[in-house]
Amino acid sequence: MKIIPIRNILFVALIVFYLYAGANHFINPSFYLPIIPPYLFKWANQINILSGVIEILLGLLLIPKSTRLRAGIGIIVMLLAFIPSHIYFIQKGDFMIGTVTFTPFKSSIRLFIVQPILILWAFWASKSDLSLIRFT
């Protein structure tokens, strides 16, 4: 029995995470539109679509070694670009989107703990030398 190293699982999980997150912008736009800050709301639909396309593209670009570094940098830049939205969540206070409740505390955890973990995960993945497809 061959044991799959945890780094392989985490690498594939990151790819799946961004492919799913990107697709979810199209599947469930009503989740994303209300969390776009008011000063950007004029372009909310375009921002939602662009975010989804970029997340899918970056997830796919993680797969080949030749584009992995650029994809990792792109994910980090995208995560940094989302910081104003997370600050807006904190400022907005308690609110619900569908069945999900957002509070300033949960939003702070997202901004100060989850966001840095996602950035480090993308950085680590961009340095990975894993091959998902082997031609031998």
DSSP strand E in the chain: where?
A: 95-97, 100-102
Contacts of 112 (CB under 8 A, 6+ apart): none
Q: What is the pLDDT of residue 11?
A: 92
The pTM assigned to this predicted structure is 0.85
The pLDDT tens digits of the residues spanning 48-62 come to 999 999 999 999 999
Rounded Cα distance between 11 and 82, Å, is 22
The pLDDT tens digits of the residues spanning 2-44 come to 667 888 889 999 999 999 999 999 999 988 888 888 888 899 9
Q: What is the pLDDT of residue 8?
A: 85
The pLDDT tens digits of the residues spanning 83-119 come to 988 898 899 889 888 788 889 999 999 999 999 999 9
Rounded Cα distance between 68 and 123, Å, is 10
Residue 133 has pLDDT above 70, yes or no: no
Q: What is the pLDDT of residue 135?
A: 45
Which of 35, 121, 18, 133 minimizes the C-alpha distance to 82? 35
In the DSSP assignment, the letter for residue 95 is: E
Q: What is the pLDDT of residue 136?
A: 44
60, 19 contact by CB (below 8 A): yes
In the DSSP assignment, the letter for residue 131 is: -
Helix (H) or strand (E) holding 110: none
